[in-house]
Amino acid sequence: MNAIYREYQTQDYADCEVLVNEAWGFDRIFQPPELAAVAKQMYTQGGLLASNHCQVVEVDGKVVGFIFGFNERGPRVKRNYLFGLQILWRLYRIHYPDVMPRKHLLQAIGAHQQNRQKHLPSGKSEICLFVVAKAHQGQGHGTQLWGGFRESCIGSGVTSVWVETNEAGAAGFYRGLGFQHVADFDSPLHAYATPEGQACIYRYADI
C-alpha cells in the first residue's frame, strides 16, 4: 500500500467526517439521526476551523487519517461565528418528542468547555483533532502525521504542544510520543463517547 502525506483539501472533508464517526460513534450515541449528523459536523468542522495545520494521509486513493492542529505562531485563525450560528440553527430545526436531547447536548458542550479551559491555556499550540482509521493503525501513519505538525511548531519557535484526550482512548498513544499528563477534568461530552474513560489534558514539551 502506498501512503501519501499531503495538505488537507476541501474535498477531503467527507472522508474526515467518516473517520471521526468511526472513532467516536456519533451515529450510536446520538438520536435521532439528524442530531448525530449535527454532532459530527460540529466536531469535525469545528476542529478544522480552529486549525492552521491540516494534513491527511491517503492510502490507495482514500484518506485514512488526518491531523488538524493549531500552531500559535502560524497563520492567524479567524473566529467563525457563522459556523456556530449554523450549528444552532440545525439543532433547533430538529424535531424531538421533547427538547431534552438538544438541551443535554448544549449543556454538555458548555460544561466541557468551561472545565477544559481551567487546564489548557487559551491560544496555545494544540492538536485539535487527530484520527487514523482503525484498519490502518499501527502502521506509523499517526506518528508521521504528528511529526509533520511537530516540525511545523519547531520551525515557528513553539515550545510546547497540548492535546485533549481520554485515558481510555488515545492517551497511551500520546504518552508513546512523549506527551506528559497535565490534568484530568470532568466532561459530559467524553462521558457520551467513553463512559468508562477520563477526560484529560496532555502536554508535549520536548520541542
The full set of domain ranges for the chain reads 3-204
CA gap 200, 63 in Å, rounded: 28
- Give pLDDT, residue 98: 60
Q: Which fold has domain 3-204?
A: Aminopeptidase (3.40.630)
- pTM for the model: 0.94
Identity of residue 12:
D
Write the CA distances from 64 to 4, 70, 102, integer angstroms.
10, 21, 31
Ordered per-residue pLDDT tens for the chain, 207 residues: 789 999 999 999 999 999 999 999 999 988 888 989 999 999 999 999 999 999 999 999 999 999 999 999 999 998 888 998 999 899 888 887 665 567 787 888 999 999 999 999 889 999 999 999 999 999 999 999 999 999 999 999 999 999 999 999 999 999 999 999 999 999 998 988 888 899 999 999 977
Strand 126-132 with 53-59, pairing = unpaired
CA gap 56, 131 in Å, rounded: 10
pLDDT tens, residue by residue, 41-99 = 999 999 999 999 999 999 999 999 999 999 999 999 988 889 989 998 998 888 876 65
